[in-house]
């Protein structure tokens, strides 16, 4: 017999509103309360209910706090949507997408409701370097590039491709901003 578990999956910008240490069976556990914004347009989050309350506890909470500390130490005045690179203990820098100091995440958990309030109790959370499919821009655009440029792209590392993908995204956004309102050339 199948069971319904109120599974919730969110992708967006994580903002931490409070941190608590609670005791569970006399063992201290970290609990992080916050929000995941599923839009990056200021002002639309409250109108369209694109701000979702979340609770993170245990090991995921400790990991998120460690990453946020590294982010705040390395980039104390970060604003806007940016790709940042955090030092990793075991390998190269980890590329991470942030908006107004909030990391871009995908999270899975269980939706709870109590006393008329709902929140998602997160069990799995991952920080993302780019929105899904952003690096595919290079492979799609490769077909229209000349042979010399295609050979150069093939030797790029994933880190270098993420930088180029970010630059391409900004270039495309600037080109689209030049279009007259309401136009959609095909």
The residue extents of the domains of the chain are: 7-127, 136-177
Q: Is the pLDDT of residue 154 over 70?
A: yes
Tell me the C-alpha distance between 130 and 84, whole Å.
11
Please report the pLDDT score of residue 3 as a whole number: 53
Query: pTM of this prediction?
Result: 0.62
Q: What is the pLDDT of residues 12-23, one digit of tens each?
A: 889 999 999 888
**Least confidently predicted of 51-60, 80-89, 93-102:** 80-89
Q: Higher-confidence residue: 172 or 10? A: 10
**Token couple for 40:** 């990056």
> Going by CATH, does the domain composed of 7-127 fall within 1.20.140?
no
> In this predicted model, what pLDDT tens digit does every residue of 133-143 receive, in sequence order?
444 555 556 56
Q: How high is the pLDDT of residue 130?
A: 55
pLDDT > 80? residue 120: yes
DSSP string, 119-186: EEEEEEEEE-SSSTTTTHHHHHHHTTS-HHHHHHHHT--HHHHHHHHHHHHHHHHHHHHTSPTT----
CB 78 within 8 A of CB 70: no
- Rounded mean pLDDT of 107-128? 84
């Amino acid at each position: 017999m199948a069971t319904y578990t109120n599974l919730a999956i969110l992708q967006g910008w994580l903002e931490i509103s409070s941190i608590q240490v609670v005791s569970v069976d006399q063992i201290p556990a970290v609990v992080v309360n916050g929000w995941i914004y599923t839009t990056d347009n200021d002002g639309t989050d409250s109108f369209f209910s694109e701000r979702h309350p979340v609770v993170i506890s245990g090991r995921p909470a400790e990991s998120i706090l460690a990453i946020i500390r590294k982010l705040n130490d390395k980039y104390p005045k970060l604003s806007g949507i940016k790709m940042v690179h955090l030092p990793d203990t075991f390998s190269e820098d980890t590329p991470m997408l942030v908006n107004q100091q909030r990391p871009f995440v995908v999270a899975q958990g269980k939706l709870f409701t109590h006393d008329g309030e709902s929140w998602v109790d997160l069990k799995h959370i991952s920080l993302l370097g780019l929105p899904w499919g952003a690096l595919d821009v290079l492979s799609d655009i490769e077909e229209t590039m000349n042979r010399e440029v295609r050979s150069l792209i093939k030797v790029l590392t994933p880190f270098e491709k993420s930088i180029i993908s970010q630059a391409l995204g900004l270039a495309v956004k600037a080109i689209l901003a030049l279009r007259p309102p309401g136009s959609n050339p095909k």
